[in-house]
Amino acid sequence: MRKAPALGAFLVKYDPCRKIRGGMILSGNLTLIVGPMYSGKTTELLSFVEIYKLGKKKIKVFKPSMDIRYGVEKVRAHSGIEEDAIPLENPEEILNIIDGDEKAIFIDEVQFLSVKVYDVAKKLVDEGIDVFCAGLDMTYKQNPFDTTSKLLSLANVVIKKRAVCFICGEHNATLSFKISGGESEIDIGGKEKYIAVCRDCYNKIQRGEIDVHSHIG
């Protein structure tokens, strides 16, 4: 594991293109992309990656090391688009990895990182680096993820995504529902474990009015 530096030890390299006004470095922005499974969060994140790359701006992409669904060093959307990424066990490792002249930092599946990512994100935006994070805002039991909730308080921009409801087919699904794999709320998986549902269908499933397994297959 990389040794994480103290937050105060991080220094941004001189960059003539960094946003400066009156001799002061302007702060960056934190953009948080949230929503249920299959709502296009990672696709949205990677669209911002593409924008920065088209502008020939230096970036780095990170992901939790525990998410190995598409490889250890890949961020991949359900649509199939992907990007190389650096796996993290501790979000403070970011400060030890970046060079200091990046224009933006991107983090996927941020809910699986510790709440220390809040301090890291704050440090980066204070130094003029834009930060983009994507992740689930709630567990399948509708409990908020602590990391995502804390980042919400810091974000300049919050993008709330919706998915197509697996049951009724409407584009208003804001919740994830677990169909297999036990009751753990921290359980990485895809379509074999989770579906996206609207609130009405979620409540009907909970009341036993809908047999979710009759819709599968």
Instruction: Please state the separation of Cα 65 from the chain's center in Å.
Output: 13
CA atoms of 97 and 77, how far apart (whole Å): 24
| CA 129 from centre of chain | 17
Lookup: tokens for 89: 């066990």
Rounded to the nearest 10 degrees, the angle between the axes of helix 146-154 and helix 117-126 is 20
49 in Cβ contact with 41 (< 8 Å): no
The neighbouring-strand residues paired with 34 are 135, 160
CB 108 within 8 A of CB 75: yes
Sequence-ordered list of residues with C-beta below 8 angstroms from that of 174, at least 6 positions apart, any chain: 35, 36, 160, 162, 163, 198, 199
Helix (H) or strand (E) segment spanning residue 94: helix 93-97
Active site includes 185? no
- Is the C-alpha dihedral spanning 159, 165, 166, 170 positive or negative? negative
Tokens read off for 216? 């599968």
Candidates 73, 109, 170, 185; catalytic one: 109
3-state class (DSSP) for residue 96:
helix
- Rounded to whole angstroms, how far apart are CA atoms 31 and 24? 22
Q: Which residues are catalytic?
A: 109
